[in-house]
Structure 1
Amino acid sequence: MRHALGPLLTLDVGTRQSEESDIDDILAEFLGGRGVGTKLAFDRIPFDADPLGPQNRLYVAIGPMQASTTSFTGRTSATALSPLTEGLLSSNAGGFVSRNIADTGYAAFELVGRSDTPLWVHVTDDGVAFDPVPELAEATVSTVVAHVDEARGVGADAVVCIGPAGDHEVRFASMMTSGTRAFGRGGLGAVLGSKNVKCLTFAGDSPHRIEFPSVADEVHREAAESDHIMKRQGTAGLTEFANEIEALPTRYFSESSFEGASAIGGDAIEEQKYKKGTCSSCAFACKLPTRADAGLETEGPEFETVMAFGSNAGVDDLTAVMRANERCDELGLDTISCGDVVSAYLASEDALGDAELLADLVERIAYREGIGDTLAEGIHRIHDRLGIKDWTAKGMEFAAHDGRTLNGQALAFATSNRGADHLYGSMYVHEYPLVDRERAIDRDGVTGKADLLVERENKNAVLDSAIACKFSRGFLTEGRLATLLDTTVEELQAVGARIVDLERRFNNERGFDRADDTLPYELPGLASELSAYYERRGWSDDGTVLTADSPERSG
């Protein structure tokens, strides 16, 4: 099986020392990316660690596909204990940094300890520099990028950094790369902030060579030739359709469709698009550089952001949504969690629909100013204080694709080790459907959907380890991915199952079980299908992993 190549580089930001170690056995078993990050985290992070304490570790990793030049492979994975969910979590980002990481010759990086001053860690194939940057405390993303470019000629595409939200340990702070691309869900930016690391940069000329079969060229050619709506509208093209079938969360989840959807949806956003945008080596080019009449420039908003700051906030002002999106990117915040938190606050103040409050609340959250200090904790921790319903799963704010309409996606939200993240199981693609009709399933009910969900979760774990974009569906099929990785579909399913098992085992050790696989609404048949899901995975009916046949902790 083809897997990522190269050692692990441990970066102790407290002592400012680095150390290489061989992880070939882990790479062979877990491919790279999320799989390798999960295994290293499982072995090395204490089960009782504080997510914002020095015992937490952050892993950044690439996969074998970053050695290719095919489309859908411009991504990087990060893994740590989440400050938002308190469980193990992986997130990945697009952009261009993955190839710069590959050029250093390392497969993965481990950040340990805590610096006594804001720190810039510059990694090359010749060594590591630990540069104190107290002047960058509370600096925005663009300010960080400008600083490292002036100091070392390192551009945005070689940078992973945090904005003020990470500095202030906002529980849903993002790590940012390529200026506007986010390791968004779960608060990994707060983990970086807790270590007092402002940015990581990567440069070198020592990539590991991996030969891929010609199917890689076929995928790239088809991506270039495709006339897909995402090339024009990104994921925002789904807005009006989701609204039509009542799967668009609206007014803090009190409704499932929004009368103003067309004003903030795909067609409206396409009108603001002024050039193409893409990720490293990708000919699909589905990103959304947009410009409003007010002189505002941003990238997006994508569908999830349109939901969180638009319909869920009761706002149909596209410029206001774009400005909130731009502020999140600049300050380093996950747009989904942040938008939902803002919507929760508006609901608590009977102010849903007040577009003028969006950007102001984003700023207050990032700097923990006034009410922002409360909102920075996330909905799960503050819903009682606000007097509103706790619309989270495992402490994570919900993505779009309303599970009250897309019932298989609701099941996926419940079982996800990551919380209410749509890309963990992504059952919605079969329920809208966004796949061929023969692969579509009925939206109603959960009975009989556990088997497909397990397959989806395993496949997505492999994609996050390879690493390849979720939007490669239809191009990078399971058969093609197996060919590219020199293995079988069945073996890839086994790799994915190992990753999901390890995540669940780590979370079990932290007290997670069946009681956490819940939703904030009633879903008929959920209890019995959860049992079917656990049985399909070989877990106990209480939602915990049976360890007899599972990999042991080796750290």
Structure 2
Amino acid sequence: MKGSYRNKVLDVDLTSGTAKVEPLSEILIETFLGGRGFNVRRFFEEVPRDVDPLGPENALYIGIGPLEGTSFPGSCRVNFTARSPQTGLLGDSNAGGFFGPELKYAGFDQVVLRGRASKPVYLFIHDEACEFRDASNLWGKDIPDTQKAIIEELGDSRVQVAAVGPAAERGVKFAGIFCNLVRAAARTGMGTVLASKNVKAIAVRGTMPVEVALPDMFDDLVVEIKREILVHPQYKGRVYLGTTALMSSLNQLGCLCTRHYRTGRFEAIHQVSGERLADTLKIKGKACFSCIIPCSRYVRIDEKGKTILASEGPEFEGLAAFTSKVGNPDLKEGLIAVDMCNRLGMDVITTSEAIAFLMELYERGEISSSDADGLDLSFGNMQAVYALIEKIARREGIGDLLGDGAVEAARKLDVGEELVMHVKGLEIFKADPRGLKGYALGLAVASRGGDHLRSEPSFEFSEDAEAARKLYGTEDAAFRLRYKGKGRVVKDYEERCAISDCLNACKNTLVNMEILSYDRMSTLLHAATGIKLDQEEIRLIGERIVNLERMYLVSHGVTRADDTLPKRFTEEPLPEESGPSAGSVVELDPMLDEYYESRGWDINSGIPKESTLKRLGILHLVNGVLDESLVLRR
């Protein structure tokens, strides 16, 4: 095959210290496209269901997409997939930056890591080759020191590094893989899996150019798309604030996570907002590879003539995690907490949930300081937050309890499990689902647990009643506090997100700004790869991925009963001070009915019907799982 695919997979056996290059299956390309699709297809077939997530038999898949390394704006992301040590279910995480394109320049569409090295190593992948390098001197180092040491050793500042920190080495189950220092594939514990294989980092350097199949056609399309991005209504806001814009907008709507989801508005929002960050601490904007939207930011904190923090970031999740969620009105203190998580290599979403959960228990009198190493766990006490971050990363004292995640901590404490804000063991984002009904449904059914990035149904903010009737059958679909039509909206956006994760292009443009229709994707893919897939064939790839991931969950006993939300969101209305969202709860059951029906899943069990799997061409892959699910339903 020609075009922007490399048509090569690097298969690494860490146990034997060998690596081989294999051809990329043409059938895999045509049915799963790239990135997330490549990973889940091979993971489903190759990794036993009962594998120990931290055992050598759990393979880790690293996948990139066909647009990677081209001039397409934001073609920069990379997927890491394995069985999750945090949830025991599907582990999958995605990061931007420059690592993904560099892997393409080094000659590969996918890397598979199997087994476990006998001692700490890092991999150096370069121009269709892989070296195993001693990492004994790197073990214990944080993310920045690890990247610096590897670049110095290799003598090339252009090397791209994906590394794990001390948290992963110590078995914290929500440790991430960090690319370019802060570009975090942080969810579901993929860093913990990498560290369990005695791999400290993967360094990549490539010099092989990416060629597209139809250069003139591709260039014309990219120019056209860039023009549309530059005049898009969201462009200026994304450049100025990026995702941190959500701090003020969600607060205004009354659904910003505040003091552990007990209200939707933070009284100190103006002190910690994205606008405040941009106006006081932002040095300049920062973009990923080939992107024309510099939506990230460099920030610096100087005090008494001394720089105490200089870093890229944070995104909305990190900013909200250590300000409104824990009741902290000090922007600088929040940024320090985010930086600590990044350096130690931990997911800010799970880390902040573990801490905020403890704070609520403490406020309710269900635990005391003596249960938490003498710490004062009052909301807003950032010294306690700093101490807990360190303790979690080093699995010391109360941190050892929290190192398996908030759900396990509650079970071990034997108190407050209903107060952990998670779905299927994965803690949720910083918007209150009661104010976002489509997102609420998306969290309940997401294939990796409580995750907002599997669907991102931003249409529910549109308030475009006419478009809602045309696309989803009811005008309610366009309004965030109404639930009708949201099953069809979430289905649609799940498929868009799956394709975005296959192309490994940024969801800002593909999903939120909706720059690419399926028809345009078809034309773009043809220009890039030479492959002709029509718009329906591309959409079906997204649907195929969602169903295969669902069948992996079904193989672990997941049914409708697991597609749920914490009772706080379904039974407790948002309080009066939440403004426009006050009084709202999530009407989950009718949304699930509509979602399953639109998906072609059994409405009682939430298991895909045989006819659906056959239509998508994956029945042969899942027959055994489907047979077992029939027993479950009986």
Normalising by the residue count of structure 1, what TM-score does the alignment of the two structures yield?
0.95
Indicate which of 20, 27, 51 corresponds to 2:29: 27
Aligned residue runs from structure 1 range 27-66, under 5 A: 27-66=29-68
AA partner of residue 425 (structure 1) = S
Deviations along 1:82-103, one digit per CA (max 9) or x if unpaired, are 1122111321111111221011
Question: Which stretch shifts more, 144-153 or 539-548?
Answer: 539-548
Provide the residue aligned with 2:473 in structure 1.
none
* Alpha-carbon distance in structure 2 between the residues aligned to 1:400 and 1:23: 39
Indicate which of 282, 289, 310 corresponds to 2:291: 282
Indicate which of 384, 400, 406 corresponds to 1:379: 406
* Alpha-carbon distance in structure 2 between the residues aligned to 1:19 and 1:360: 44
Aligned residue runs from structure 1 range 51-130, under 5 A: 51-130=53-132
* Alpha-carbon distance in structure 2 between the residues aligned to 1:383 and 1:156: 44
* Alpha-carbon distance in structure 2 between the residues aligned to 1:343 and 1:489: 44
Indicate which of 219, 222, 241 corresponds to 2:225: 219
1:251, distance to aligned residue in structure 2 (A): 0.8
Q: SS where residue 352 of structure 2 aligns? A: helix
* Alpha-carbon distance in structure 1 between the residues aligned to 2:466 and 2:228: 21
Alignment partner of 1:531 is 2:593 = yes
Q: SS where residue 131 of structure 2 aligns? A: strand
Deviations along 1:204-260, one digit per CA (max 9) or x if unpaired, are 223442242522222234445665212111111121110111111111122221111
Change (3 A) 1:156 1:406: farther
Indicate which of 247, 254, 260 corresponds to 1:246: 254
Indicate which of 329, 332, 342 corresponds to 2:345: 332
Change (3 A) 1:433 1:355: farther
AA partner of residue 482 (structure 1) = S
AA partner of residue 387 (structure 1) = V
Deviations along 1:309-365, one digit per CA (max 9) or x if unpaired, are 111101111111100111111111111111221211222333111122222221211
Alignment partner of 1:445 is 2:445 = no
Change (3 A) 1:502 1:261: same
* Alpha-carbon distance in structure 1 between the residues aligned to 2:288 and 2:194: 23
* Alpha-carbon distance in structure 1 between the residues aligned to 2:20 and 2:425: 35
Question: Which stretch shifts more, 192-201 or 87-96?
Answer: 87-96
Deviations along 1:368-390, one digit per CA (max 9) or x if unpaired, are 12111111111111124173312
Question: Which stretch shifts more, 521-530 or 5-14?
Answer: 521-530
Provide the residue aligned with 1:314 in structure 2.
327
* Alpha-carbon distance in structure 2 between the residues aligned to 1:162 and 1:224: 36
Provide the residue aligned with 1:496 in structure 2.
542
* Alpha-carbon distance in structure 2 between the residues aligned to 1:156 and 1:266: 31
Indicate which of 505, 515, 528 corresponds to 1:468: 505
Change (3 A) 1:341 1:189: same
Deviations along 1:145-181, one digit per CA (max 9) or x if unpaired, are 1111111124475111101111112111110011111
Q: SS where residue 444 of structure 1 aligns? A: coil
Preserved CA contact (<8 Å) 1:298 1:322: no
Preserved CA contact (<8 Å) 2:87 2:424: yes
AA partner of residue 248 (structure 2) = E
Preserved CA contact (<8 Å) 1:4 1:64: yes
Preserved CA contact (<8 Å) 2:6 2:104: no
Question: Which stretch shifts more, 522-531 or 90-99?
Answer: 522-531
Change (3 A) 1:156 1:139: farther
AA partner of residue 304 (structure 1) = E
Provide the residue aligned with 2:315 in structure 1.
302
Question: Which stretch shifts more, 522-531 or 12-21?
Answer: 522-531
RMSD: 2.2
Provide the residue aligned with 1:459 in structure 2.
496
Change (3 A) 1:127 1:219: same
Provide the residue aligned with 2:145 in structure 1.
143
* Alpha-carbon distance in structure 1 between the residues aligned to 2:297 and 2:219: 31
Q: SS where residue 385 of structure 2 aligns? A: helix
Alignment partner of 1:432 is 2:461 = yes
Preserved CA contact (<8 Å) 1:222 1:475: no
* Alpha-carbon distance in structure 1 between the residues aligned to 2:266 and 2:460: 20
Preserved CA contact (<8 Å) 2:496 2:539: yes
Structure 2 unaligned residues grouped into runs of 5+: 364-377, 469-476, 527-532, 571-584, 625-634
AA partner of residue 388 (structure 2) = L
Question: Which stretch shifts more, 483-492 or 141-150?
Answer: 483-492
* Alpha-carbon distance in structure 2 between the residues aligned to 1:434 and 1:412: 19
Provide the residue aligned with 1:8 in structure 2.
9
Normalising by the residue count of structure 2, what TM-score does the alignment of the two structures yield?
0.83
Preserved CA contact (<8 Å) 1:215 1:480: no
Change (3 A) 1:488 1:3: farther
Preserved CA contact (<8 Å) 1:156 1:178: no
Question: Which stretch shifts more, 33-42 or 228-237?
Answer: 228-237
Preserved CA contact (<8 Å) 2:393 2:399: yes
Alignment partner of 1:543 is 2:543 = no
1:5, distance to aligned residue in structure 2 (A): 3.3
Q: SS where residue 4 of structure 1 aligns? A: coil
1:114, distance to aligned residue in structure 2 (A): 0.9
* Alpha-carbon distance in structure 1 between the residues aligned to 2:485 and 2:354: 34
1:490, distance to aligned residue in structure 2 (A): 2.0
* Alpha-carbon distance in structure 1 between the residues aligned to 2:395 and 2:194: 17
Q: SS where residue 290 of structure 2 aligns? A: coil
Deviations along 1:462-494, one digit per CA (max 9) or x if unpaired, are 000011111113363224333212333322210
1:410, distance to aligned residue in structure 2 (A): 0.6
Preserved CA contact (<8 Å) 1:482 1:489: yes
- Give 1 or 2 for the bigger CA radius of gyration: 2
* Alpha-carbon distance in structure 1 between the residues aligned to 2:514 and 2:486: 24
* Alpha-carbon distance in structure 2 between the residues aligned to 1:201 and 1:413: 34
Alignment partner of 1:415 is 2:421 = no
* Alpha-carbon distance in structure 2 between the residues aligned to 1:343 and 1:83: 22
Alignment partner of 1:403 is 2:433 = yes
Alignment partner of 1:359 is 2:398 = no
Provide the residue aligned with 2:471 in structure 1.
none
Structure 1 unaligned residues grouped into runs of 5+: none
* Alpha-carbon distance in structure 1 between the residues aligned to 2:162 and 2:544: 28
Preserved CA contact (<8 Å) 1:33 1:466: yes
May I ask how many residue pairs the two structures share in their alignment? 554
Q: SS where residue 404 of structure 1 aligns? A: helix
Q: SS where residue 188 of structure 2 aligns? A: coil
Question: Which stretch shifts more, 220-229 or 72-81?
Answer: 220-229
Percent identity, aligned pairs only?
32
Preserved CA contact (<8 Å) 1:74 1:280: yes
